[in-house]
């Protein structure tokens, strides 16, 4: 979960929790998932990041505020309106900062996949464009693919 702090609005808190399966209460009942307590959290400052305009053609507007992706030992926090991608490594219950990049474009959506050569993962991002006439020239946005490994974001 990622949430903006109430105090100054310049910080984002990333909270990681484990998920548990709750067995069904009857033989043919569904299994339920439960969110456990927060096991680790980090504060990310957005004070120095430039806020981007939401593309006009976005029906859902600027929500959700953040996208969180997980693959292997990586946790990727994408701050949509800042065009920022913050990478963390999660190992033995510890969350370590592994890098950050800024795309200079509003992030519409994103997903993550294993790299074809198994050397890491790839973050696939659909971006909008920031600027007055760009919504008319590029109404469908742009796709950016970034390679992520233990060495960082490429």
Full strand arrangement of the beta sheet holding 2-4: 2-4, 11-22, 32-45
Beta-carbon contacts of 153 under 8 Å, excluding residues fewer than 6 positions away, are 85, 87, 99, 100, 101, 123, 146, 147
- Residue 86 tokens read as 């913050």
Cα–Cα distance between 34 and 131 in angstroms, integer?
Answer: 42
Residue 134 pLDDT exceeds 90: no
For tokens 């790839």, the residue is 122
Q: Check residues 57 and 47 and name the one with the higher pLDDT.
A: 47
Annotated domain spans of the chain: 2-153
Cα–Cα distance between 19 and 70 in angstroms, integer?
Answer: 14
pLDDT average, residue stretch 55-84:
81
Q: pLDDT (tens digit, 9 = 90+) per residue, 34-45?
A: 888 888 888 888
pLDDT average, residue stretch 48-62:
67
Residue 110 pLDDT exceeds 90: yes
Q: Check residues 84 and 63 and name the one with the higher pLDDT.
A: 84
Quote the pLDDT of residue 58.
63
3-state DSSP call for residue 125? strand
């Amino acid at each position: 979960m990622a949430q903006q702090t109430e105090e100054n609005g310049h910080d984002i808190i990333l909270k990681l929790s484990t998920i548990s399966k709750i067995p069904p209460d009857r033989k043919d009942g569904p299994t339920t998932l439960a969110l456990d307590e927060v096991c680790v959290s980090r504060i990310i400052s957005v004070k120095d990041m430039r806020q981007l305009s939401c593309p006009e053609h976005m029906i859902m507007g600027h929500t959700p505020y953040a996208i969180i992706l997980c693959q292997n030992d990586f946790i990727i926090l994408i701050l949509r309106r800042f065009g920022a991608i913050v990478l963390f490594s999660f190992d033995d219950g510890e969350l370590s900062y592994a890098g950050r990049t800024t795309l200079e474009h509003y992030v519409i959506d994103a997903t993550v996949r294993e790299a074809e050569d198994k050397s890491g993962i790839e973050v696939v991002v659909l971006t909008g464009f920031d600027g007055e006439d760009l919504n008319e020239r590029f109404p469908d946005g742009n796709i950016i693919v970034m390679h992520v490994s233990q060495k960082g974001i490429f």
